[in-house]
Amino acid sequence: MSTGLLEQRANYPHTGYEYGYGSTGNSDADGNGRKEIDCSHLLTKMLTGAGYTIPYKTTRELASDTTHYDFIALNDVQEGDIALWTTRGHTGVVEKMEATRTKGEFFGSQTSTGPKSAKFGAGAYWPMPDKYLRPKAQYRSGAQPAPAPAPAETVAAGGSWQFPIRKAGGAQYKDAEELFAALEAETSGHYLLGSHKFWHGGIHISDQSAPQCVREEPVRCIGNGVVVAYRLNKDYLTSEFAGAEATQSLKYSNSFCLVRHDYKSPANTQVQPGTSNELTFYSLYMHLLPFDRYPVSQDEIPAPRIKMTASGFRARSDIKGAPNCQEYGAISAGAEIEILEEHADRVHAKGKLIKGAVGGRTEGQEFWFAYKQNGASYPKSDGTPSWQEVVPPERTKPGYWKGKVRAVVTASGLTLRQPPATLTHGAAAGQPISASTAQSTNQGLVLCTNSTIEFDSAKVLNLKIGTKTVRMAECTFIPSTSGPTTGLKGHSLPVPSSFWACVEDVSPNRFVQWQALTPTLFDAVVPMETAIKAGDPIGYLGLNENIAGPTGGVSSKYQVHVEVFSADPRIEDFLKNKAGVKEGKQYIHLPASTTLSKKAPETSTVVLKSEHFVELTKAVPFKDAVDWYEVSLVDGSEHKSGLIKKEAAKIISQHDWEQLGFKIVKENNQASDGFLDSDDMPDFFKKIYENIDRLGNRDGAVTSEDLATALKNVEFREHWSKLIADHPTEWKFKSDTPKWARLDELLKQYPAVLKHEKNRIDELVFWDELAGVGAIADGSGVVRHIHPISFIGNMLEVAGSSACKKCGKSIALTIPFMKKISGPTVSDEFLKGFVDAANKFFVKYEITSCSQVALILAQGSVETLKFAKFRESLNYSRATYTAESLLNLAPTAINNGLIRKGLHLNYAQKLKYVEDHLLANDAGYAQHCFGSNDYPNNDYRGRGLLHLTFYETYKRCADAIGVRIDATPSLIETDVSAIVASGSWYWKSNNIGAIADDASLEIDLKVRRVTAKINTGLDQLAKRKAVSKEIIQLINNDFGGCAG
């Protein structure tokens, strides 16, 4: 039976409460809008709200209160029980306990945040609790029943959204602008305007812009939701075309996946009860790869690829010893290289850098290196191979196809659970199943690693375990017929005949590895009601062969049609932000004709021709006599910048869709055909439409080719991609209906082409085959189409930054967050610059996980005295050091300096030199030990976020970040952008992210290995461990992240 405590969390948001020692949560002592409350008083309020009549107890008193509480053994702890740290004086309510019973999560009043979730156990700031309590049921009366489960899971803003494709290598696009730039390679299939000027409700993503999605990177679901229907071709369909010289058989796919998303915005808590904006919409993915094409064919096998296991091999412009050969730099361990050509000497090879670090080269650039010796991997100095082959992965099969799934437990255990109270998405998961052991203790039933389960993919639900949503299903156990014994851990009982369990196979909540999903239905629309999550695989680009011209020929490409649409009548309230939600991204609204001022001594002004929206985090605060925002933008194809008074700036949120330019366009005559008739459209649409030809070839006719050119204009694209087209879908009507009547006229001179196109249209439609839960509105087919990239771009919580590649939560730094980890002397102005730079360079250098952000900040904090000093002190005073002790401290650096200066001294002479030139001489020591003949007056001591050291490192960094810190090293102690860029470059160049993301490493070992890459002497290791754990907890608390 649930204690009812977790249901009380919503009553104590951290936005309304903060931590206050001894405070009861009834008053706001400091007047900041948040009432103070400590952990034990929060627990008492939650108990009272859940219907218990239990008096207040301090954490010390709780530890011995057997009157009101049962004390629970670790193996029997359930969500809703009370966790108690007697030695630390802290308490909270258990939200999650891992099957291994070595870590979990709890809700309580945290010192840094007030009421919020935090982690405990392995890798967390909080250790495992000392005791677990459960309030006795006899003290519960008048309890409020838990709210009934929602009919479907609602999808919140922020980390629950992803773009439908990722970059090669799996990194996510940081924002809509980056993805739009990639899509400029598309020549057709653009939003709204299709071929022959027909309406086109989605966008095409093809191998022209996303070749990685043909074989390596799947198309992905944009958000948590429910698959309501799909169609999977067994193999490509074919259509016949009788050309002038021969009949051609053209391959294409009508495979699709249709997902319903039930969105609910954050609540406007300024009104009671809190109100939200809600919208049901759909995402469609059409022309997906057929089932039989998932195995990699012989002609798809890519060029050989290797991963370096050695560091120090040299990259060159030609083979070693060749005339005019230029050495680029060292190849780092972990670098992945595509082999383009093997030299006739059977030793060297030309490679292309796919990912990782190579001195003087960037990803995609080529170089020569030592590849083989005697037909095998060129050996390292110890004789072991310098590289290993990267085996191309198989295509990942989606999990929504209807069929039986067998999966193997990959976690340390899989908890067996009772069924949920209701079989609906968003409901709470059932309670863990437990039974008595041979030792007469009550212990949960947990399947051991490598156990095999089976479940029905069509019956997977998105259920809640604590605060997390995971995919779960009713399962059966498949006994092992060979290999290690599988089954229950710590029990001799047989596994129950059926049970519920988590079936997640995607990080960060991965518990099982799906071994086989064999679809049972092909080439037909399959109604479904199965859960899917943001980022889950949908499929791959399918081959689409078209007629090249009226007389024949083949034009082909791999592509997917992605579409977002809604038939929800609440869409206008959603666009108008009827609930008045203020959270999320903030924008400065600059209407057309806004006048921007210039900084003194300039007295001129800048007038904006067009309306603009500037993300608040990208506006730079400036203060003279008044407070200003400095903005930079492109207006009428001109780059403009200027100041707007802070008090005059109109701030709107990401939920103000209509104010941000998202507008519904609707033809006056919707009974007409599917032709886009601009004369029948609103005036504001006509003005945008007229720009297509002006930005295209200016021949007086608007074509899809003109649109491809116009979309490269950022201002035009900004307006075009925010149009919401109210128009019948292209997936309902067959070729003999009025929607397609215009085709008869357009192709009347080419009857064979007309017949071919009509046959394809009839094969692609599916709308009328949707039934039951899959049926959309009244079935008329009239929906509102929304540009999928603009839509997701605005849904994302923070633009211009990244989401964690593992958990999907935003990891964009903020000034309030940085204040928590910075020293008291660090100014707000510096933190603003640091946050902007970090949110730019962390993405650029792929520091895109919660763990990486936590650990680079922790290392930077120790190196720079909490972000206050970005220059290493080298003043070795005579009070602490003698010449001999200083020489013994740094013999290599001092001797290298003597060699560079051409001084060959005996030991006595060295001591005299140290005494005269290096002791108590910060500048002299730095120039001697960290100098360079290229710039004799500079020193290259530790500077920047991670304290780069030595001229060679400065030089490589300067080449990479484009800032000449080799010529002016002081830049990385004074220029905040260079400070962050240098640290980010060093982090990626040394492959430190791979260590930070290695989930198999215990946190202390992980920090040690990260530190060894930054400070080989492991200086202040204990402090680095402590700071790392502190920042990990803050990231997980503040961002809801997965650091550890």
pLDDT digits (tens, 9 = 90+) for 222-247: 999 999 999 999 999 999 888 777 78
**Which pLDDT score, from 0 to 100, does residue 148 have?**
30
Copy the structure tokens of residue 323: 């005339």
C-alpha neighbours within 13 Å on the C-beta side of residue 854:
33
How open is the CA angle 902-906-909, to the nearest 5 degrees? 85
Copy the structure tokens of residue 215: 């074989």
Domain membership of residue 776 (yes or no) is yes
Indicate whether 829 and 967 sit together in one domain: yes
Structural domain for 453, as ranges: 404-518
CA dist 518 and 503 (Å) reads 16
Q: What is the pLDDT of residues 208-222, one digit of tens each?
A: 999 999 998 999 999
CA dist 168 and 27 (Å) reads 53
How many domains are there within the chain?
6
**Which pLDDT score, from 0 to 100, does residue 435 have?**
83
Q: Are 723 and 688 in contact (CB under 8 A)?
A: yes
Indicate whether 376 and 436 sit together in one domain: no
CA dist 550 and 750 (Å) reads 6
Q: SS3 for 264-287, per residue?
A: ECCCECCCCCCECCEEEEEEEEEC
Q: What average pLDDT is seen over the chain?
A: 86
Cβ neighbours of residue 1006 under 8 Å, at least 6 residues apart? 855, 995, 996, 998
Q: At 981, which CATH number?
A: 1.10.530.10
Residue 757 has pLDDT above 80, yes or no: yes
Residue 143 has pLDDT above 60, yes or no: no
Indicate whether 468 and 611 sit together in one domain: no
Q: Are 1009 and 1001 in contact (CB under 8 A)?
A: yes
**Which pLDDT score, from 0 to 100, does residue 677 have?**
65
Confidence label for 147 from pLDDT (cuts 50, 70 and 90): very low
CA distances from 591 to 595, 608, 659 (A): 10, 8, 10
Indicate whether 259 and 234 sit together in one domain: yes
Indicate whether 196 and 345 sit together in one domain: no
CA dist 841 and 269 (Å) reads 34
**Which pLDDT score, from 0 to 100, does residue 684 have?**
58
Residue 344 has pLDDT above 50, yes or no: yes
Residue 152 has pLDDT above 60, yes or no: no
DSSP β-ladder status, 256-264 and 154-155: parallel
Indicate whether 558 and 706 sit together in one domain: yes
Residue that finishes a domain, picked among 360, 389, 418: 389
Domain membership of residue 561 (yes or no) is yes
Residue 682 has pLDDT above 80, yes or no: no
Who has greater pLDDT, 889 or 1026?
A: 1026
**Which pLDDT score, from 0 to 100, does residue 520 have?**
83
Domain membership of residue 807 (yes or no) is no
Domain membership of residue 395 (yes or no) is no
Q: What is the pLDDT of residues 492-550, one digit of tens each?
A: 889 999 999 999 887 667 789 888 788 989 999 999 888 898 889 999 999 999 888 87
**Which pLDDT score, from 0 to 100, does residue 861 have?**
96
Residue 797 has pLDDT above 70, yes or no: no
CA dist 771 and 527 (Å) reads 7
Residue 578 has pLDDT above 80, yes or no: yes
Domain membership of residue 1004 (yes or no) is yes
Who has greater pLDDT, 135 or 715?
A: 135
Residue matched to tokens 């209160």 = 65
Indicate whether 158 and 218 sit together in one domain: yes
**Which pLDDT score, from 0 to 100, does residue 272 have?**
59
Segment among 20-24, 83-87, 407-411 with least mean pLDDT: 20-24
Average pLDDT rounded to a whole number, residues 772-800 = 82
Q: At 342, which CATH number?
A: 2.30.30
Average pLDDT rounded to a whole number, residues 749-776 = 86
Q: Are 265 and 585 in contact (CB under 8 A)?
A: no
Indicate whether 790 and 888 sit together in one domain: no
Average pLDDT rounded to a whole number, residues 167-174 = 79
Q: What is the pLDDT of residues 922-976, one digit of tens each?
A: 888 988 988 888 888 888 999 999 999 988 899 999 888 878 888 888 889 888 9
Q: What is the pLDDT of residues 604-640, one digit of tens each?
A: 999 999 899 998 877 877 788 888 888 998 888 788 9
Give 383: exposed, middle or buried? Use CB within 10 Å, 0-12, 13-18, 19+: exposed
Indicate whether 567 and 614 sit together in one domain: no
Copy the structure tokens of residue 168: 């090669």
Indicate whether 794 and 860 sit together in one domain: no
Residue that finishes a domain, picked among 139, 172, 200: 139
Q: Residue 436 forms beta bridges with which residues? A: 442
Q: What is the pTM of this model?
A: 0.61
**CA neighbor of 151 nearest in space, from 465, 406, 462, 447:** 462
Domain membership of residue 504 (yes or no) is yes
Looking at the chain, the whole-number percentage of residues with pLDDT higher than 70 is: 92
Residue 808 has pLDDT above 70, yes or no: no
Phi, psi of 141 (to 5 degrees): -145, 145
> What is the separation, in whole angstroms, between the first and last Cα of the chain?
32
Domain membership of residue 722 (yes or no) is yes
Q: What is the pLDDT of residues 410-450, one digit of tens each?
A: 877 899 999 999 888 888 899 999 887 666 667 889 999 88
Residue 655 has pLDDT above 50, yes or no: yes
Indicate whether 735 and 883 sit together in one domain: no
Domain membership of residue 458 (yes or no) is yes
Indicate whether 884 and 1008 sit together in one domain: yes
